Amino acid sequence: MKLLKARAYFKNITEISPEFLKENGISGLILDIDNTLIGHNVPLPDEKTTNHLRELENAGIKLCVVSNNTYDRVKSFTEKIGVEFFVANALKPRRKGYIEASESMKLALSEIGAAGDQLFTDVLGANLAGCFSIYTKPLHTGGEGFFIALKRIFENPFLPKEELL
């Protein structure tokens, strides 16, 4: 079950500092959308999150949104938050989306961190692709629908205790 273990755990995407990424040899960061950048049914990230993305970019970290969502939604979201690269219909945890992201950012998979809130899609996918996997606590876990709620139950044994996040 090593593949379900993230290399790093954070409460929120805004806690991932440019220094942390650089210390780990990371020059690009893959971002999940739902429950990582925005909560459920919220159209855009809050100001703190948006500012943090700018801080990462200013420090020379390339950003790429990789989502299983549709092309139209991912494209318009990425434009609104000012991120240049994106991959839609990524089919995470399959490697395809991560490879496309690495080609867009012109970085090796090993130089890329991938952050997301779901172990079975984001963390597993990052590990399978050879990226540095980063788990971020879901922003909001209510109203996600039956299948995601069910997946969360199965995630629990593989997650660190709340106080360690």
- Residue 23, CA distances (Å) to 18, 58, 106, 113 in order: 9, 16, 20, 12
CB of 32 to Mg ion, least distance (A): 4
Choose which of 13, 14, 30, 34 interacts with Mg ion (CB under 5 A). Answer: 34
- What single letter denotes the amino acid at residue 31? L
Choose which of 35, 49, 69, 136 interacts with Mg ion (CB under 5 A). Answer: 35
Nearer to Mg ion, 90 or 109 (CB): 90
Scanning residues 65 to 104, which ones bind Mg ion (CB under 5 A)? none
Q: Could you give the CA distance from residue 4 to residue 64 in angstroms, rounded to a whole number?
A: 22
Q: Token pair for residue 23? A: 């210390």
Nearer to Mg ion, 111 or 117 (CB): 117
Site size toward Mg ion, by CB under 5 A: 4
Q: Token pair for residue 11? A: 């409460």
CB of 58 to Mg ion, least distance (A): 25
The radius of gyration of the chain's CA atoms, rounded to the nearest angstrom, is 14
Binding site for Mg ion (CB under 5 A): 32, 34-35, 117
